[in-house]
Amino acid sequence: MNKLFENLNEQQLIAVKTTDTPLRIIAGAGSGKTRVITAKIAYLINEKNIFPRKILAMTFTNKAANEMKERIKKMLDNENVNPFISTFHAFCARVLREECEAIGLHNKFSILDSNDQRAIIRKIIKNMKLNEDGTLNRFDKKALSKISFWKNELTEPDEALDICKDIEEKAFAKIYKKYQQHLFEQNLVDFDDLQILVYKIFRDNKDILQKWRNRFDYVMVDEFQDTNEIQFDLIKLLTAGKNNLTVVGDPDQTIYSWRGAKIQIIMQFHQVYPNAVTVVLNENYRSTQQILNLANDLIEHNKHREPKSIFTNNDHGPKPKLKEFSTRYGEARFVAHEIKKLVEEQGYQYGDMFILYRMNAWSQEFEKTLDNAKIPYNLIGSIKFRERKVIKDSIALLKSISICDDLSVERVLKFTPKVGDVTIEKIYNLASEKQLSLFELMIDEENSVRTITKYLDPIRNTFIKARVMFENNESLVELMKFLVKESEYEAIVKRLDDKDRDEWKNVEALYDQLKNFEKGFNSELYGEENVTLAFLQEESLASEEADEEKSNRVSLLTIHSAKGLENKVVFVVGLNRDVFPSKNSMLTIAEFEEERRALYVALTRAKEILYISYIKGEYSHLSGGALIESKFVKELNPDLYTYESNIFVKQEGKSGSYLKKVFGEKPEIEVIKTDINENDLVNHVMFGDGIVIKKMDRQLQIQFTDSRYGSMILASDNPVLTKK
């Protein structure tokens, strides 16, 4: 056991060894919470003699679950140790496979991803003739968001119809009813259903609940600050009357209220478990003390939190750097310059850098500038591997012959040669007339689809043969290869590659993924004997997570995407009013504190060097006027950072020579000077005479005499602008 404890500090050791009472671990940023969780699981197995499969540990991402599994195997030097470590959704899918008959669901149900949900919603909207003119913006997304809200509030479709008074909400309630009806008919569940249906099963079936209570001797929950009411209800049901619970989280990192997370759950834990013990982990193993000083000072502005101040023994490194720029372009150009300097002069790698922003729209200038500077980067949150068309098409083939849902069959028909929308509509009508699913119609022995078109013969024959392979539980990768080849999809993709699309490599990467899954397949873990169904379940559960590309590239990502990550150098950009926090004039105190927590999360991603920047003066549609610094900038303690304003990289000559000047040699940093001041009369070659009503660093706000131009913001060093 000494091996398990040798790297634990005193507080961590207490957290590991406390097992006889409900335990809440408040784990500060970078405080080694994963180390504590894995050490605790190893301790329960080795010291408390709990059988591994009787330990349930739940977290929020597959990546975190897999990392814990691997760490425990190494700790115990035993590849066969398999505690039940999974995401909430994966755990619920496992329960649902076993208990679905209690709610009238067939155990071969399929799990919808968000794209499939939207496709169903769009079809319902079209059939109901709603939003035909397209005037309602993001109507399908709004409908899905409202449906998700109702589901998590346990509001049934008929109840939603009764309580809605607003015309748009009534439309959403009607869509909700048809959506649920479609899911029931097609034996489908969505992500919300996984947790809600299991909650209902546990709530209404005491014998089933008791069975699952008895299945686990100890329950642990990671990222507890991100739990919602349904998840906490599941935890309470599984642990009622027992002391076998440890939860780990940090209220200062609760930034997902828009997903249903409630900070009150972790804050009021002792009200639910009065005999609970709290252990605070406040020694940070990630960042320098200079970075932590700034983060600690900022988060103390929040009133609704557990008081703590994280510290580290690492006192090396520079103070965080706060930078002010006149334009978004100047901000991006400076960041690119600093990245080059850190790589070329200080030995950093591109992969050591994060550029973090509050909203995706802020990445645009950085993408262009990094491209121009030949700096490699990943835009995290762009098209994920599993959302590429060729991958979704291939998976649709697999779903068509296994789950047999209409959505997947329709997707396959859409890429079947010589089959168009008119033909697909005829197939739908015939299936409805015969009261068959699309798949059943396709393989119908009467071959009635041939009355529509002979061009369905190849895909029909493929379906029939592949279905036999599936029922015989044959090799997953061989089944996929058969489907892709015999459906003629391989030929379609390779024709795309003739146009330099290079899509076939993605299909081959999918083959590798299937092979690796098959190699590690464990039917007990998935509650499913058929390897194809197990893979499709895993794929559906993983579809909400970002794919990570391990490479030497700068990562551009939102702060919410960066939670749980860390890097040596972090640039937190766009710290502007109406950007971060967004729409701060409309935020409640609770929402404003959450925005502050998001900044705290961003700052504590940095291990060695931290930059923070904002724009002052440039006009932006985001704020409806000139950008100014966020309120958070004013909250940062000036004793804890270095500050520089009016920075830009000098540009000489035409744009063609710009890169050589900026990145081939050391660029010069200079302050723009102008003799034009407020109240000065000026003349612009195009806009005519005007008066300067405001001076903002490199920008001037000018009221022009000509009413066609009115008030405009221009660069103070504009060569066609002169003082009169």
Lowest mean pLDDT among 227-236, 254-263, 342-351, 657-666: 657-666
* Res 383: pLDDT: 56
- 34 annotated to a ligand binding site: yes
Query: Over the stretch 557-580, which tens digit does the pLDDT of each residue have?
Result: 999 888 888 999 999 999 998 888
- 634 annotated to a ligand binding site: no
- 30 annotated to a ligand binding site: yes
Query: Over the stretch 578-629, which tens digit does the pLDDT of each residue have?
Result: 888 876 556 788 888 999 999 999 999 999 999 999 998 877 766 667 788 8
- 38 annotated to a ligand binding site: no
Give the position of tokens 């505690």.
83
- Proportion of the chain above pLDDT 90, given as a percent: 39
Residue 541 has pLDDT above 70, yes or no: yes
* Res 697: pLDDT: 65
- 31 annotated to a ligand binding site: yes
CA 314 to chain CA centroid, nearest Å: 31
* Res 596: pLDDT: 94
Work out the pLDDT band at 117, boundaries 50, 70, 90: confident
Q: In sequence order, what are the residues at sequence separation of 6 or more whose Cβ sits closer than 8 angstroms to the Cβ of residue 485?
A: none
Q: In sequence order, what are the residues at sequence separation of 6 or more whose Cβ sits closer than 8 angstroms to the Cβ of residue 559?
A: 255, 356, 357, 358, 572, 598, 599, 601, 602
Sign of dihedral through CA atoms 173, 179, 183, 188? negative
- In terms of pLDDT, which residue wins out, 176 or 133? 176
- 134 annotated to a ligand binding site: no
CA distance 26 to 33: 9
- 293-313: average pLDDT: 90
- 32 annotated to a ligand binding site: yes
Q: In 3-state terms, what secondary structure has residue 276?
A: coil
Q: In 3-state terms, what secondary structure has residue 11?
A: helix
Q: In sequence order, what are the residues at sequence separation of 6 or more whose Cβ sits closer than 8 angstroms to the Cβ of residue 368?
A: 332
Query: How distant, in Å, are the alpha carbons of 10, 352, 356, 606, 608 from that of 566?
Result: 24, 9, 11, 6, 10
* Res 385: pLDDT: 67
Query: Over the stretch 421-471, which tens digit does the pLDDT of each residue have?
Result: 889 989 988 888 888 889 998 898 877 788 888 888 899 999 999 999 999
- Proportion of the chain above pLDDT 70, given as a percent: 90
The catalytic residues are 33-34, 222-223, 253, 605
- 29 annotated to a ligand binding site: yes
Work out the pLDDT band at 650, boundaries 50, 70, 90: very low
CA distance 143 to 136: 11
* Res 550: pLDDT: 55
> Which residue segments constitute the domains of the chain, with CATH numbers given?
3-95+196-283 (3.40.50.300), 110-186 (1.10.10.160), 295-383+549-644 (3.40.50.300), 386-541 (1.10.486.10), 656-723 (2.30.30)
- In terms of pLDDT, which residue wins out, 540 or 672? 540
- DSSP state for residue 508 in the 8-state scheme: H
Residue 376 has pLDDT above 50, yes or no: yes
Query: Over the stretch 47-62, which tens digit does the pLDDT of each residue have?
Result: 899 998 999 999 888 8
Lowest mean pLDDT among 118-127, 398-407, 421-430, 520-529: 520-529
Whole-structure pTM value: 0.74
CA distance 473 to 488: 23
Query: Over the stretch 70-108, which tens digit does the pLDDT of each residue have?
Result: 888 888 888 778 888 888 888 998 899 889 889 888 877
* Res 637: pLDDT: 92
- 271-280: average pLDDT: 92
Give the position of tokens 């000139």.
626
* Res 658: pLDDT: 40
